[in-house]
């Protein structure tokens, strides 16, 4: 990254970026019927409350961790905050806008413009160079080719990949691929960046470098990291612990996700 990893965050105006107010997400159980039937018997309802009456606010320049064992609702809450999923009940507001008031098309546009998403498995397109991968969100926003190349190049330089701009993902290490994914998440200048197990595919050393990168990402935006990894949770300003879809006050014992 261009700036020192040791840079301290300055106190800032704590403005709310995203708020989940009493949100619940209920899924149908269809996807895992065998496990479910064995675990709870035939009379159990065919639904699961992946997130149950959860309220969270994430502010600018804050890194919030979502912790908890596998199946506790971390990814679902992350997806709700990012607008990738709609709550069954409750409200998710992004800077005062209730996402439920937006049409599907408006929600897609909103995500493109305001939210950067980093996945555990990077989700890069193998047929494209690192620069073209980073520039992809700008294509959908109608940004000119010249501007796209400029912004993507700058971002790749900032994440330390100046010499990898024209490389394809398969020519990059896992850590480099995750840096490309971070650059892509930042290219639209989003106010919120969310990441699901961002170091899950990386070795310890590389994972630490990626966490330093996230600290810098949060210098002028909000970041939410869903993870069961202790080192990831340690860089967070605040950790919200989930168990069975609800927030627990007590720290929960982490168990490895699948």
CB of 36 to ligand ADP, least distance (A): 9
CB of 245 to ligand ADP, least distance (A): 6
Q: Is 257 in the site for ligand ADP (CB under 6 A)?
A: yes
One residue of 48, 156, 187, 211 binding ligand ADP per CB under 6 A: 48
d(Cα 50, Cα 48) in Å, to the nearest integer?
A: 6
Q: Is 31 in the site for ligand ADP (CB under 6 A)?
A: yes
Q: Is 73 in the site for ligand ADP (CB under 6 A)?
A: yes
**50 or 202: CB nearest ligand ADP:** 50
Q: Angle at which helices 130-140 and 174-186 pack, to 10 degrees?
A: 20
Q: Of the listed pieces 3-11, 72-80, 177-185, 202-210, which binds ligand ADP according to CB under 6 A?
A: 72-80
d(Cα 42, Cα 136) in Å, to the nearest integer?
A: 47
Q: Is 68 in the site for ligand ADP (CB under 6 A)?
A: yes
CB of 75 to ligand ADP, least distance (A): 3
Residues in the site for ligand ADP, rule: CB under 6 A?
A: 27, 31-32, 48, 50, 68, 70-76, 257
């Amino acid at each position: 990254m261009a700036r020192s990893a040791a840079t301290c965050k300055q106190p800032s105006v704590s403005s709310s970026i995203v708020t989940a107010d009493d949100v619940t997400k209920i899924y149908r159980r269809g996807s895992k019927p065998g496990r479910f039937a064995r675990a709870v018997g035939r009379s159990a309802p065919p639904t699961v409350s992946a997130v149950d009456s959860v309220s969270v606010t994430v502010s600018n320049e804050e890194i919030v961790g979502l912790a908890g064992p596998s199946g506790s609702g971390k990814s679902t809450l992350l997806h709700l905050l990012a607008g990738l999923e709609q709550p069954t009940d409750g409200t998710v507001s992004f800077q005062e806008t209730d996402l439920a008031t937006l049409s599907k098309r408006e929600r897609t546009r909103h995500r493109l413009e305001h939210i950067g998403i980093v996945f555990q498995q990077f989700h890069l397109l193998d047929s494209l160079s690192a620069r073209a991968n980073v520039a992809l969100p700008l294509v959908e926003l109608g940004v000119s080719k010249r501007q796209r190349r400029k912004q993507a190049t700058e971002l790749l330089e900032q994440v330390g990949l100046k010499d990898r701009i024209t490389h394809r993902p398969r020519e990059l290490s896992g850590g480099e691929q995750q840096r490309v994914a971070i650059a892509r998440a930042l290219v639209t200048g989003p106010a919120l960046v969310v990441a699901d197990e961002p170091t899950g595919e990386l070795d310890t050393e590389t994972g630490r470098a990626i966490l330093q990168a996230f600290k810098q990402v949060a210098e002028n935006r909000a970041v939410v990291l869903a993870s069961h990894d202790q080192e990831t949770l340690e860089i967070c300003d605040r950790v919200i612990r989930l168990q069975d879809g609800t927030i627990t006050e007590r720290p929960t014992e982490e168990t490895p996700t699948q």
